[in-house]
């Protein structure tokens, strides 16, 4: 088993509306995977499919190698799911709440007492043991909810917006808890619409919008791809001049890659991947002039991927 969570071409439609649109996700064991997308992107729907609460319209998914359709019981045993809504629990004390869910997993009474003490300690709620659940702040409720997902010691945690609606401090606490749980060997798949939530703790990120994966990869890959770098396009007479351009700009600091594209009609276009600032762009221009290269046009292009990401992040960054 290469991936702890793997989906292939997952689709979910509601009537004519497609909420999840051919989603392929790969989450290696031990990863903290940030599932990022604006509201309405399809995160909750995807998570409900993974937790066997909703069936996909088409496509497949496995958790720990078990198929979510054919092996639902095994899948459910493997996962702890924290939904985006806490729900209403009147008249329950903190420990009773955990006791209730532990009992649902057929954990014996004696064992439950110990387990609850351990869980409360882990999420630092021991001192609130006797308090009523409804009196807890949102941040403490989230911690309690997280404790609940751990009752049957699942290998995989699927957390739907665990940090949403929390104040900055509570948000950091939830993040620290996730790191702690990953250290315990759990694989964590969590959703967020806030890009800042994924920056420091994730090992992997997937960005979705409109039910489609825009990009996913490990942190290093994603950072490299999201580094704001520009593409400069230089048009020259022919291939020979294009090679001259390559020779001149190839050595400039910040130039990542130089490609020669030959469009129809003879002229050559040189595409320069550059991660410098405006002065750097001016320097490239200047060097080409100094080398007496005849430039037909010199312009900057926005990459498609970046354009897409900008569109998505406008919805994400708050
Ligand atoms: N049961 C449903 N019936 C109809 N549309 C739904 C249903 N559940 C979700 N949707 C729609 O699917 C889209 C994705 O929703 P959701 O998965 O909740 O997104 P996210 O969690 O990323 O905010 C939204 O446009 C939502 O309105
Ligand atoms: Mg949601």
Residues 246-303 pLDDT 10s: 999 988 988 988 999 877 677 999 999 888 888 999 999 999 999 999 999 999 875 5
Integer Cα distance of 6 and 204 in angstroms? 13
Per-residue pLDDT averaged across 176-181, rounded?
Answer: 94
What CATH number does the domain located at 5-225 have? Answer: 3.40.50.300
Ligand nearest to the CA of 38: 1
Q: What confidence tens digit (pLDDT) does each residue in 223-251 have?
A: 777 666 788 999 999 999 999 999 999 88
Quote the pLDDT of residue 316: 44
**Helices 109-122, 94-104: crossing angle, 10 deg rounding:** 120
Protein residue whose Cα sits closest to atom 2 of ligand 1 = 14
Computed over every residue of the chain, the mean pLDDT equals 90
Of 29 and 304, the structure prediction assigns the larger pLDDT to 29
What are the pocket residues of ligand 1 if the criterion is a CB atom closer than 6 Å to any ligand atom?
Answer: 14, 17, 19, 37, 39-45
Question: pLDDT at residue 102 above 90?
Answer: yes
Domains in the chain: boundaries: 5-225, 229-309
Tell me if 274 sits within 8 A of 284, measured CB to CB.
yes
Q: Which atom of ligand 1 is nearest to the CA of 39?
A: 23
| pLDDT tier, 313 (very low <50, low <70, confident <90, very high otherwise) | low
Tell me if 34 sits within 8 A of 188, measured CB to CB.
no
Q: What confidence tens digit (pLDDT) does each residue in 288-301 have?
A: 999 999 999 999 87
Q: What confidence tens digit (pLDDT) does each residue in 130-169 have?
A: 999 999 998 999 999 999 999 999 999 999 999 988 888 8
Question: pLDDT at residue 195 above 60?
Answer: yes
Ligand 2 ion: Cβ-proximal residues, 5 Å cutoff: 43-44
Q: Which atom of ligand 1 is nearest to the CA of 38?
A: 22
| pLDDT tier, 46 (very low <50, low <70, confident <90, very high otherwise) | very high
Q: Which atom of ligand 1 is nearest to the CA of 12?
A: 12
Integer Cα distance of 314 and 261 in angstroms? 32
b or e along 222-252 (b: 16 or more beta carbons within 10 Å of the residue's beta carbon)? beeebeebbbbebbbeeeebbebbbebbeee
Q: Among 39, 61, 35, which residue's Cα sits nearest to residue 216?
A: 35
What CATH number does the domain located at 229-309 have? Answer: 3.30.70.260
| Interstrand relation of 66-67 and 58-63 (parallel, antiparallel or unpaired) | antiparallel
Per-residue pLDDT averaged across 184-199, rounded?
Answer: 89
Protein residue whose Cα sits closest to atom 16 of ligand 1 = 42
Quote the pLDDT of residue 318: 34
Q: What confidence tens digit (pLDDT) does each residue in 200-216 have?
A: 899 999 999 899 998 89
Quote the pLDDT of residue 317: 40
């Amino acid at each position: 088993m290469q991936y702890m969570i793997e989906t292939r071409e997952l689709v979910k439609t509601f009537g004519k509306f497609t909420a999840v649109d051919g989603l392929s996700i790969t989450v290696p064991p031990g990863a903290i995977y940030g599932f990022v997308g604006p509201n309405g992107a399809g995160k909750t729907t995807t998570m409900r499919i993974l937790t066997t609460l909703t069936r996909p319209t088409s496509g497949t998914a496995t958790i720990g190698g078990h198929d979510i359709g054919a092996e639902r019981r095994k899948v459910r045993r493997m996962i702890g799911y924290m939904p985006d809504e806490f729900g209403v629990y009147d008249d329950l004390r903190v420990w009773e709440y955990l006791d209730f869910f532990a009992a649902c997993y057929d954990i014996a009474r004696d064992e439950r007492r110990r387990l609850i003490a351990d869980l409360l300690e882990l999420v630092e709620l021991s001192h609130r043991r006797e308090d009523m659940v409804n009196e807890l702040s949102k941040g403490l409720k989230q911690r309690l909810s997280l404790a609940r997902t751990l009752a049957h010691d699942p290998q995989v945690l699927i957390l739907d917006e665990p940090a949403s609606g929390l104040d900055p401090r509570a948000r950091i606490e939830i993040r620290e808890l996730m790191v702690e749980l990953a250290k315990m060997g759990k694989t964590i798949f969590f959703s967020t619409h806030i890009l800042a939530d994924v920056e420091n703790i994730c090992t992997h990120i997937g960005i979705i919008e409109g039910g489609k994966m825009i990009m996913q990869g490990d942190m290093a890959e994603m950072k490299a791809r999201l580094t704001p770098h520009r593409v400069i396009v230089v048009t020259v007479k022919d291939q020979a001049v294009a090679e001259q351009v390559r020779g001149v700009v190839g050595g400039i600091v910040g130039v990542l890659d130089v490609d020669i594209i030959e469009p129809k009609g003879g002229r050559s276009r040189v595409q320069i991947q550059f991660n410098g600032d405006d002065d750097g762009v001016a320097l490239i221009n200047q060097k080409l002039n100094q080398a007496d290269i005849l430039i037909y046009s010199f312009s900057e292009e926005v990459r498609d991927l970046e354009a897409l990401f900008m569109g998505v992040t406008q919805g994400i960054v708050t």
